[in-house]
Amino acid sequence: MKKFGQLNFKYFKSIKQSFKSKKFKYGGYATLMVAVVIAIAIIINLIVDQIPWELDLTQNQRYSLSEQTNNVLDNLKQDVKIIGLYETGNENKTVLDKTVLEIIERYQRRSKRVSYTTIDPERYPQLLTKYQKDDTSLSPGSLIVESGDKYKVINRYDLINYGYNQYSGEFYAQSLAVEQQLTSAILYVTAEELPVIYRLIGHDEDSIPYDLRKQLELENYTIEDLNLITQESVPEKAHALVVLSPKRDITKEEAEKIRKYLENQGRAIFFIQNLSRELPNFEALLKSYGVALERAVVVEGDPNMYFPGNPLSLIPKMESHSILNPLKSAQMYVFAPRSQSIKELDIKRRTLTIEPLLVTSDKAWAKTNLESTTIEKEEGDLEGPFNIAVAITDKIYEDNETKETRLIVVANTNILNSSLISQVPGNANFVLNSINWLRDREEGISIRPKSLLTSYLRISASQQLIFSGVVVILIPLIVLASGLTVWLRRRHL
């Protein structure tokens, strides 16, 4: 019995001594640190859960509002109501509905003037009668944006842009246009005056590409045709005159009408080339604003500034200008195949300011012999760099006020090619931003649809080998070395 008591004493003594050992101290510290970290993590989660803050980690910031939308919301001076048409209980039935609601909530958080409500079109059709024009029906999932007496209906199917796969013969969701449609509608219902742009006709001009026209309408522009042979003048309500690739020259009378419009603080954009035809009256009009088109085809000598294999397919440099800054920040480019050059005249009015927009490199040259069978540089060709597009401002101080005329001249009509407008975002954005600049709308909405397509990581064979080595060899070696170091340290404790 005495021996058993001695064993118990030694056992409890060894346990007591183990609490004083270095192993216990290190283990205790480690356990305490783990407990503290867990407690801190729990407290942080509880605090963060109470903060109404979210982080959009989607690739193209799908749920975040653009700077343009934030500016519109911050400057709202009247209340705007958004009405969602959903059957009761089905407000979040689809992924699209959830996405729409999430984006609308961000509008509400940004501005207290934006409110949101839903109406069940099946239960309360009488509430929708004032929004129905020509007996058209409002489909579930559509949105109505209203302010005062003005409203705009956004069809459910306009919230997503669809593409067509010619191989499978099926349509697919290409991009999300919720913010684009909502902000456009808010601008529409809160605008005091909607802008009207006139397209000059009567000289075999090109029509405005469908995708560009659709975008202009989204930005609340009204587009009307103007024939100056039958019209006495450019209408006073015109916010801009658009000239798209005329194949025939204007008459002197038409030129005078355009000149009078411009002199009265008019705004115009010319997409014009005269390689295969004479346009003396158009050219005289442009010369009065300090520029002339050179009858030569530009060839780019810098491989980084043209489409691979084709020096005639220019990707010009974008200069610093409010028209181009959004494109540069978004890393877009403008594709301008077969361009002419624009020459700034040495003799011009002092009131004129001519700013280059799209320019070539100094390695470019221009072929003056249009019958030449080679694009190689020959004797008589012009030396670069060349201006492909310019912005012109004419400021005159008169009657105790400053009067300003604005023009944009683009020596390329292929920029407006339908396929380029739909496939090269920079081309469409360049035209839209140019028109916004013409009417002093430099902060104008330039929200573009957000892609829903999945981007894949593409790596070369050498990159695959490097990543494989890191994952298969380097990381296991680091883990093994760390474990071996810890084991050796503990062994010597």
Helix (H) or strand (E) holding 230: none
Percent of the chain with pLDDT over 90: 33
Beta-carbon contacts of residue 350 (< 8 Å; ≥ 6 apart): none
The larger pLDDT score, comparing residue 368 to residue 50, is at 368
Asked if 393 and 321 count as a contact pair (C-beta separation under 8 A), the reply is: no
pLDDT at 51 over 70: no
Farthest CA pair distance, the chain: 130
- Please compute the mean of the pLDDT values over residues 32-59 and round it to a whole number: 72
pLDDT at 48 over 80: no
Which of 411, 414, 418 lies closest to 337 in space, CA to CA? 414
pLDDT at 332 over 50: yes
Q: What is the pTM of this model?
A: 0.69
Min mean pLDDT across 20-24, 92-96, 329-333 is at 20-24
pLDDT digits (tens, 9 = 90+) for 96-154: 788 888 888 989 998 899 999 988 888 887 888 888 776 566 788 889 999 888 888 88
- Please compute the mean of the pLDDT values over residues 175-200 and round it to a whole number: 86
Which of 274, 276, 277, 285 lies closest to 228 in space, CA to CA? 285
Residue 310 sits at φ, ψ, to 5 deg, of -140, 95
pLDDT at 325 over 70: yes
Min mean pLDDT across 50-59, 389-398, 480-489 is at 50-59
pLDDT digits (tens, 9 = 90+) for 230-257: 999 999 889 999 999 999 999 999 999 9
